């Protein structure tokens, strides 16, 4: 068996760069109502047809005035009452208008005096200070101007984006259709939850992890099912998946054992571009194409499946889904543990505790409970010994899994 430390393993940065070059945006689009667009990826942008706000309006409850005409101590009559949603009349000379937050500024007025700064008097109001033009006035178009491109193509729409698009009058949006991603699980030892376990069998967690991950990304899982440990069965399953999905993800069977058939099967009906990475966990990862459909062969150990999906398959799929603006947050935080130098870049399952990163005690690639316990991954570069207090890059699961 080949050593883990043998030369030829592909560094993470090189693998990710190649994957992103390979990612081709799906051209399939559909039109959805605005209320159903959150989490979808915008496929066509349009310019704002209105200013937001559409007219100057008040940011306070108070009095709309012509600033130049106000003299402190003089009583000014109130000529009208202006509320939000109703068009005001022009301001009468020598008068002021009672106005409320969000209401349109009357023609002839250029400032608002908040009600707390005004004294009520018989026949009107008295101002105690001179008034500055523009005070407490929200100008037309201060948020969005007519003609602005408010949300660019390739944005995965968040709640604030939906609000912005609503504010410019959009009722429907053109978005990319969700990617269909086929999931194959290889291994005669795998049994679905709910079935009795026989000797030598384990429950299939990887299928459910991948289904959940894909659904969180707004994509559609296509479950092909468990594939028997034979070359013919693996080939048949891959060909079926290529007919049904935009991308294929398998778990297990990409290592160098006699019962690991996935790599050979892929090379019979397609090709492998990337194989075996300089990362831990997740060295036996493969990427290629089957009949033009992208294929990921993820490791079979469940923690490795989760980690490699997050750091490699996820950015590829998001790019393929049409997302142009990936802004995953990471942080520099101190380690609360010691880690010996290793030959591969390592992704340690950690929890943030008291301002430092605490590692789960068992980092074995088969221990999925480590990821359930953790807040995210600490990245340890290869050949670097980590002592308590050393600064590490922290990738929170709130970013990687969302």
Domain assignment present for 96: yes
Same domain as 367, residue 315: no
- Domain boundary at 138, 168, 196, which? 138
Instruction: Tell me the residue range of the domain where 169 lies.
Output: 29-50+147-176
Domain assignment present for 239: yes
- Domain boundary at 295, 320, 345, which? 320
- Per-residue pLDDT band for 257 (boundaries 50, 70, 90) equals low
Give the residue from 20, 74, 3, 9 showing the smallest Cα distance to 314: 20
Same domain as 364, residue 264: no
Q: Is the pLDDT of residue 106 over 70?
A: yes
Domain assignment present for 325: no
- Per-residue pLDDT band for 188 (boundaries 50, 70, 90) equals confident
Per the structure, the count of domains in the chain is: 4
Same domain as 293, residue 221: yes
Residue 27's pLDDT is 80
The region of weakest confidence among 1-10, 124-133, 286-295 is: 1-10
Q: Is the pLDDT of residue 186 over 90?
A: no
CATH value at residue 158: 3.90.105.10
CATH value at residue 384: 2.40.340.10
What's the mean pLDDT in 388-401?
A: 96
Same domain as 209, residue 277: yes
Same domain as 115, residue 159: no
- Domain boundary at 320, 349, 375, which? 320
pLDDT tens-digit series, residues 118-134: 999 999 999 999 999 99
- Per-residue pLDDT band for 243 (boundaries 50, 70, 90) equals very high
CATH value at residue 77: 2.170.190.11
Residue 132's pLDDT is 97
Domain assignment present for 103: yes
Beta partners for residue 120, in sequence order: 125
Same domain as 209, residue 299: yes
CATH value at residue 192: 3.40.980.10
pTM: 0.89
pLDDT tens-digit series, residues 204-231: 999 999 999 999 999 999 999 778 888 9
Average pLDDT along the chain: 94
Same domain as 340, residue 231: no
pLDDT tens-digit series, residues 294-352: 999 999 999 999 999 999 999 999 999 999 877 789 999 999 999 999 999 999 999 99
Domain assignment present for 312: yes
Q: Is the pLDDT of residue 6 over 60?
A: no
Same domain as 209, residue 96: no
Same domain as 316, residue 230: yes
In this structure, what token pair is assigned to residue 7? 């030369």
Q: Is the pLDDT of residue 3 over 50?
A: no
Domain assignment present for 2: no
Tell me if the bond preceding 325 is cis, omega within 30° of 0.
Answer: no
Same domain as 96, residue 33: no
Domain assignment present for 4: no
Same domain as 166, residue 33: yes
Same domain as 339, residue 387: yes
């Amino acid at each position: 068996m080949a050593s883990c430390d043998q030369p030829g393993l592909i560094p993470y940065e090189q693998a990710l760069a190649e994957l992103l070059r390979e990612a081709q945006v799906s051209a399939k689009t559909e039109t959805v109502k605005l209320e159903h667009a959150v989490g979808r990826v915008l496929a066509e942008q349009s310019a704002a047809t209105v200013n937001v706000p559409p007219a100057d309006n008040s940011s306070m409850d108070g009095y709309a005035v012509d600033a130049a005409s106000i003299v402190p101590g003089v009583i000014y009559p109130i000529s009208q009452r202006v509320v939000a949603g109703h068009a005001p009349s022009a301001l009468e000379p020598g008068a002021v208008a009672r106005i409320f937050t969000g209401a349109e500024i009357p023609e002839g007025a250029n400032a608002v005096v908040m009600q707390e700064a005004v004294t009520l008097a018989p026949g009107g109001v008295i101002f105690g200070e001179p008034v500055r033009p523009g005070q407490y006035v929200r100008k037309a178009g201060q948020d969005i101007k007519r003609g602005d491109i408010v949300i660019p193509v390739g944005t995965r729409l968040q709640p604030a984006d939906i609000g912005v698009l609503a504010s410019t009058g959009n009722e429907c949006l053109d978005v990319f259709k969700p990617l269909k991603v086929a999931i194959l699980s290889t291994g005669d030892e795998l049994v679905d939850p709910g079935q009795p376990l026989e000797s030598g069998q384990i429950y299939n967690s990887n299928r459910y992890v991948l289904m959940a991950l894909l659904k969180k990304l707004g994509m559609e899982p296509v479950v092909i099912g468990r594939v028997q440990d034979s070359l013919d069965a693996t080939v048949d399953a891959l060909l079926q998946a290529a007919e049904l999905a935009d991308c294929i993800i398998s778990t297990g069977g990409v290592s160098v054992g006699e019962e690991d058939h996935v790599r050979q099967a892929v090379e019979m009906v397609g090709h492998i571009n990337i194989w075996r990475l300089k990362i831990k966990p997740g060295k036996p990862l493969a990427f290629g194409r089957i009949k033009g459909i992208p294929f990921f062969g993820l490791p079979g150990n469940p923690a490795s499946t989760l980690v490699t999906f997050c750091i490699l398959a996820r950015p590829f799929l998001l790019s393929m889904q049409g997302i142009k603006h990936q802004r995953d947050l990471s942080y520099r935080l101190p380690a609360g543990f010691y880690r010996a130098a290793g030959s591969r870049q390592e992704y340690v399952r950690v929890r943030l505790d008291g301002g430092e990163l605490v590692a789960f005690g068992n980092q074995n690639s088969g221990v999925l409970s480590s990821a359930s316990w953790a807040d995210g991954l600490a990245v340890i570069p290869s050949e670097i010994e980590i002592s308590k207090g050393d600064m590490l890059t922290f990738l929170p699961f709130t970013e990687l899994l969302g």
